[in-house]
Each structure stands twice: as C-alpha cells, then as structure tokens.
Amino acid sequence: MRIGMLTSGGDCQALNAAMRGVVKGLANNVKDLEIYGFYEGYKGLIYGNYRLLTSADFSGILTKGGTILGSSRQPFKYMRTPDENGLDKVEAMKDNYKKLKLDCLVILGGNGTQKTANLLRDEGCNVIHLPKTIDNDIYGTDITFGFYSAIDVACSAIDCIHTTAASHNRVFIVEVMGHKVGWLTLYAGVASGADIILLPEIPYEDDRIIEAIDARQKAGKGFTILAVAEGAISKEEAKMTKKELKKKRSAETFPSVSYRIADMITKRTGAEARVTVPGHTQRGGSPVPYDRALCTRLGAAAAQAILDKDYGKMIAMVNDKTKRVPLEKVAGKLKAVDPECQMIKEAKFIGISFGD
C-alpha cells in the first residue's frame, strides 16, 4: 500500500499527532506499507518535493507542535491558474499522484485545503481529509484539531492580563485570532473571565461597549478586559459591502480593530486602554492532551477508511464519535457561531457583554 501525506495552510499544534495516528493505524494492519510525505503542503505535491518516510519519522511526535512536513498556503481560487512558468498545477498534482502510484492521499488542513482536496477527488484521486484549524470553523464536524490547544494559549494570555489590569485599573483588550468566525474568542473569553467579548458574528456598537465599562466602574470594579476577535466588526460596518469595508479600513491608521476600539474607549471614558495581541503564539507549542487524544482517534478512523477503500471523505467528530463525511457535502462551507446559541445566552446571563 502506498499512501501520500501533506499538511496545508496554517500550522497548528496537533498536525504531527494526527499524522502519527494515521500511520500507526495503517502500520498496525498493513504488512507492506509506504508513506510518502510531501513538503510544504500542496506546493510539494505540485512540484514533486517529497520523500519516503519511515517509522522513525513518526516516533516521538505526539507532543510536538508544528508539522514535520512543513506547510504553505496555496489559495484554492488560484489552483486552476497556471504558475509563473505556465505549469498547470492541478495536472501537476495528478501527475505526481500517479507517478508514485498512490492508493490514497491523506490531506490535513482547513477550509481552503479541504476545497482543493475535493477538487482532487473530482479529478479522480483517492483522498481522505482530516479537519485542522484553530478556528474550529469547518462545517460537518463538531471539533477540529488545534482548536483546544489554541484556546489554552489564548486563555493563558488573558489570564496574565488579569493581574496587570487589576493592578493599574486599566481597560485591556486581548486580540484573539479569527477573521471570519469567533469560536476561539468565545471559548477563550468565557474560560478566562473576559467582561466583554466581540465576535465577527455579532456586530458591536460603541455605546454598548462603553455602557459595559461604565457598569463595572459603578460596581467598584476598576478594570475591564475585552476579548476581541481580529475579525470583529461594528454594526455600521456590517451594513457595508466588502469593497466599502476594505476602503474604510485602508483609510484608518490603526493596525487592527482592537486598536481602534482602544482609541474609542480612551476618548470616551478617559481610561487607559491597552492592547495585547498574542498572534501566532496561539498556533504554537505542544498540543493539549485533548487534541492528542482527538488526533489519535481521527488518525485511526482515517486509516480504517483507507483500508475500507472509502475515499473522498472528511473524518469528522460528531457527538464524540468519528464519522466519514463526503467531501462534496462540506467543502466550501463555513461553520460560524450562532448568535442565538446556548453558550452565548449563558454568557450573557452571567453578565458578559457582546457589544450588541
């Protein structure tokens, strides 16, 4: 059996653990197995940059962050566009797949990666996709690996801010990753006791933010902590077209939405407002135990699907059970936070403001 493997898009803490799960599942049930690792995601598949991996490559990587194969972003919308030398990228990927006589290509990645995986399925390649992203925004699965590890990092940042915010009676904003969805900000904000949580799915009003800060001041609480998703938008911005919003943002001098909100808070309340951006630290470090267990299960389920020759599937986790989901049913779909979900309602019930 010949299996190809690649990790595409942004890295996360549990990619190695997931690859290990797949390989251990296959190696334990297949006598003659070859694993070909493609370097830097689809880039390696396009340009034939790969090597035959051994069992030693997958030893001791369960707790190791990042990816032993490296990764890169190859936007789906450009996959049908020839490269600077006129190379047809889709044909090149198919040629390398056929050249190695692969039985299956295991692809680990997020939404864009998944769309290209579905494209390869359409082109006749046997593929299995494993849902990776710290954003937890892949449709068709309850959870993606990397999400809980990123929550841990974001929580640590907000936890550390608590003591300095309390010491100086300041307003602190912690900007959490998430351009289109707010799962990471929601969970990290609730788990860390943030007072205000701003998500892309719930457009905010400046007045509501100021009201929440004033309410804490009147209650004798001298500091306020905001967990803000990097894709948070105001109600005014939510009414704009993408073109109008891009024009508005490009005319601003603020590095991100958090700095704009901090400036607004200072001008309207006189309080010191500071911004902390954990950034890519949220992708780094070792995977938390939950992600290690999750990836081992997803990897084993992927190996079983390959043995069953049940290709063209994403290996999902639904109601704490692994499930094979047809790629064509989920590729291109986004799983956003429902503003009316139970978790939002419970957070509001204990006094957390969402700026709405």
Q: Enumerate the active-site residues.
A: 135
The enclosing H or E element of 238 equals helix 235-238
The enclosing H or E element of 262 equals helix 257-269
The enclosing H or E element of 348 equals helix 342-349
Q: Is there a contact between 11 and 108 (Cβ–Cβ < 8 Å)?
A: no
Rg (CA), the chain: 22
Name the residue with tokens 């494993």: 130
Q: How far apart are CA 63 and CA 292, in angstroms?
A: 7
Q: How far apart are CA 236 and CA 260, in angstroms?
A: 14
321-326 and 313-318 strand pairing: antiparallel
Q: How far apart are CA 38 and CA 100, in angstroms?
A: 12
